[in-house]
Amino acid sequence: MMALLSVVLRLKLPSRQPAGLFHTCTRLLAADKELLVKLRKKTGYSFINCKKALEKFSNDVKQAETWLNEQAQKEGWSKASKLQGRKTAEGLIGLLHEGNTAVLVEVNCETDFVARNVKFQQLVQQVAVSTLKHSQSIEKSQSPYMKGFLAGAEFLHMKTEDSLLKDLLAVTIAKLGENMTMKRAAWVTVPSNMFIGSYVHGSLPAELPSLANMAFGKYGAVVICEPDVNCNSNLSELGRRLGQHVVGMSPSALGSLEDENTGETETRMLAQSFLLEPSLTVGQYLLPHQVQVLDFVRFACGEETQSTESNNS
């Protein structure tokens, strides 16, 4: 009887927990959640994948992030091969203008919805930054200014701060799930006695903390100009207006001041009616400003391109 009573008493008595164990577990769970939110915000990957990574590396955020990026690259290349045949007619033109160098890039995706995504804009920005660094590595020539083009596979082994562009492309494909292509880039560099006009049309409000001199849109242009020593025009505004003309009128050649306007089908820039003052040709508009236009580059997102643009000049 006494043995039975002893068993009953033991069953009724509450089991003791070490003091503070419940609160310790609560704090650990909160810390895990905080790490999860932090990793999710930094990488953009799903909560499930971030949780898996933290569990795999015992809440070591740095190792978890590295592993996530490696997995994303593998998945990205797998997705890229599966999506390779899908058309990439949308995307963005990126314009990066820094000092005496300006860069235009085109990166394509499948839908305008993805083109407006911050992750896609980050890819475009990084392509522009890598192209800028590439232009700075080119040996200076005897030409009065320098201009170069890149296309397709030439981007794949270019470096970002942390990896290669091809790896960043893979990560972005993995995150957004669309086919993407780094289509082309152009860069121009001028000496101190010249300036570069630039303009982007159809620009998007960039949601990412981007470079102050980076712009995104559907059309972009850079114009190489040389002012006369007596020029007192607002060169920044003049350059913007000339870039706007190139975007709007789509000239195919520069021409000369002696060229006469042949009408609406005129494709030589200096002979075209100036977009903002149609009563004047571009050449006539430039004369009182004491500025010469030496060259220009125009990009339109999704347009057909010539193979010659893949070579540096």
Q: Residue 55: its pLDDT value, please?
A: 86
| Same domain for 45 and 180 | no
Q: Is residue 199 part of a domain?
A: yes
| Same domain for 190 and 74 | no
Q: Domain limits at 41?
A: 29-84
Q: Residue 313: its pLDDT value, please?
A: 41
| Same domain for 239 and 180 | yes
Domain count, the chain: 2
| Same domain for 57 and 178 | no
220 beta partners: 200, 299
Q: Residue 306: its pLDDT value, please?
A: 67
| Same domain for 76 and 94 | no
User: Residue 248 corresponds to which tokens in the numbers above?
Assistant: 């709007």
Q: Residue 291: its pLDDT value, please?
A: 97
Q: Is residue 184 part of a domain?
A: yes
| Same domain for 36 and 151 | no
From 65, 64, 77, 57, select the one nearest 164 (Cα to Cα).
77
| Same domain for 207 and 178 | yes
| Same domain for 152 and 73 | no
From 261, 197, 268, 200, select the one nearest 227 (Cα to Cα).
197
Last residue of a domain, one of 45, 63, 84: 84
Last residue of a domain, one of 68, 84, 100: 84
pTM of the model: 0.75
**Which residue, chain included where needed, has tokens 């083109």?**
115
Q: Residue 8: its pLDDT value, please?
A: 42
| Same domain for 60 and 179 | no
Q: Is residue 194 part of a domain?
A: yes
Q: Residue 252: its pLDDT value, please?
A: 96
Q: Is residue 73 part of a domain?
A: yes
Q: pLDDT tens digits, residue range 65-92?
A: 888 877 776 766 666 666 666 778 899 9
| Same domain for 150 and 66 | no
| Same domain for 65 and 212 | no
Q: Is residue 193 part of a domain?
A: yes
Which helix (H) or strand (E) covers residue 175, if one does? helix 165-176
Last residue of a domain, one of 42, 64, 84: 84
Q: Residue 174: its pLDDT value, please?
A: 80
Q: Is residue 21 part of a domain?
A: no
Q: Is residue 168 part of a domain?
A: yes
| Same domain for 107 and 57 | no
Positions of the chain with pLDDT under 50: 1-2, 4-5, 7-31, 307-313
Q: Is residue 7 part of a domain?
A: no
CATH of the domain at 173: 3.30.479.20
Compute φ and ψ for 75, nearest 5 degrees.
-65, -40
Residue 145 burial (C-beta neighbours within 10 Å; 0-12, 13-18, 19+): middle
